[in-house]
Each structure stands twice: as structure tokens, then as C-alpha cells.
Amino acid sequence: MRVLLTIQYLGTNYHGWQIQPGKITVQGCLEQAIQKALGEQCETFVSGRTDAGVHAWAQCAHFDTNTRIAPDKIAYILNRFLPADIRVLKSQQVSDDFNARFDVTKKTYQYQFYASDQDLPLLDATFARVRTDFCFKKARHACKYFLGTHDFQSFCSTGRQTKTTVRTIYAITLDDLGESKYRLSVTGNGFLYNMVRIIAGTLIDVGCGLIESKDIPQIIKQCDRTKAGKTAQAKGLTLKQVEYDKVKLVPNTKRI
């Protein structure tokens, strides 16, 4: 059967999602837990790889298994073999033609940061720190320029191949959480390598007066990475939600 997992993890201690020789990764820990829990070597297929230090609130991945354990019980069993900063929130059987990566229709990322002249230990796990002269209103005003379908080559780091750099952003908001804390939320049909972190870095630069809000449309049109802002720190980024148009669930059969 094919099982869909919903996974939450704090990425601080991991070199991203994907298995890498000699490095601790989320996928590596998950597949080791599957082998211990189910007695099988199973390859997991994720909605999208996250980089080193990036977190996930509800990542999605599927794998195929011959286990007789009820699919909704697999999450509980896997968590017994996972480190405390990785948790499977839900496990469910899906149709054999479901693909956690290729069936994605929308993803939402959040980027959190705070303005302070010193590091704040209780925030530093999931928030980045920016300059104290950050202007929330300027940055929020600039968000609107990212909406719609654009060639986002200016907001893509080199290092990964992609057929096209055109993406659609359906929603983007910047919220003031109080006490100089802020949260950027971006929903799109897909994202390029480091795209959300570069958008966040560009908006932070707008808020700090390094880039003018009115220049964002031209930066997008230029398709030149050097024109956009810095790549914001990984620790502020969280994959918040993965959406699928249709997920065909398979009712639990009588299993162990």
C-alpha cells in the first residue's frame, strides 16, 4: 500500500531533507525509523526538499510498504523511533497513483524575523534577526508587487536545474506580530531554489531602506539575481502547508 505521511520538524540540527553521505538529514532519520518500525527498507518521496536549517510545520511524503499494520497507526509507531525534533503527525493510505511531489497544487511558506540590536535566544531557533531600523510599513507595501505570474529568475539561487523560472504567487502577506516580530506568508504553485528566502531578504532590505519599494517590478523584469536582496537566513523559514487538489484516501482494511 502507499502511505502518505504528514511530518513536522525543526530543521536546526539537520542538513536539510535529502539524504546526503555522512550528514544527518530528515529523510535519513525518517527512513531509518521506517526500517526499524516496519522491518522494511522504504524510499520516501517528499513534496519538496527543504534546505539545511529550514523547518516544516506540515511536510508531506509518501512511501510504499507491505506492512499489515493499519496505516493510521504507522505515525504512532514511527514516532517511537524518531528524534524529538521530528514527528509524524498523521499517516493515511492513499491510492497507488498518488505522488506527494507531482500532485502538489499549492504550497505556503512562512518566514519569521525580529528587529533587535542583539540576539534573543528564545526566538533564534525559528526567527532571523534584522536591523532595528526596519520599517514594517515599507516592507508590507512592497509585497503586492510579487503577486501573480512572473519569471522569478532574479529570486533564484544558482545550483539547481529547473525547466522554467516562471512561478505564480497567489497570496503574500507580511504581519506585525508585536514586540518587533514579523511573519511573511507566501502561497504559490511552486518555488525556485531559495526563492522565498530571497523574497524575504528583498523585503527586509526594503524595510531597511536599501531597496525602494517601487523598484521591485523592475527587479523582477531584469531576471538578474544580483539586483534582488540578500538570501535571508534559513532558520527563519518554515514550510507551513502543502495542498493537493484531490487526495484519494483508501479506507482502513482490517490490519494489525
Summarised one tens digit per residue, pLDDT across range 162-192 is 889 999 999 999 999 999 999 999 999 999 9
Q: C-alpha cell of 187?
A: 502561497
Kindly state the average pLDDT of the residues 68-89: 98
How high is the pLDDT of residue 158? Answer: 81
Q: CA-CA distance, 141 to 174, in Å (whole number)?
A: 9
Q: Which residues participate in catalysis according to the annotation?
A: 51
Determine the longest span between alpha carbons in the chain, in angstroms.
62
DSSP state of 49: P
Helix (H) or strand (E) holding 205: helix 195-207
How high is the pLDDT of residue 252? Answer: 63
Q: pLDDT > 70: what percent of the chain?
A: 96
How high is the pLDDT of residue 247? Answer: 76
Strand partners, 61: 5, 46
Question: Residue 60: how many CA atoms within 13 Å on its side-chain side?
Answer: 24
Q: Is the pLDDT of residue 253 over 70?
A: no
Q: Is the pLDDT of residue 250 over 90?
A: no
* pLDDT-based confidence at residue 155 (cuts at 50, 70, 90): very high
Query: What does the mean pLDDT of the chain come to?
Result: 95
Q: Is the pLDDT of residue 58 over 70?
A: yes
3-state SS, residue 60: strand
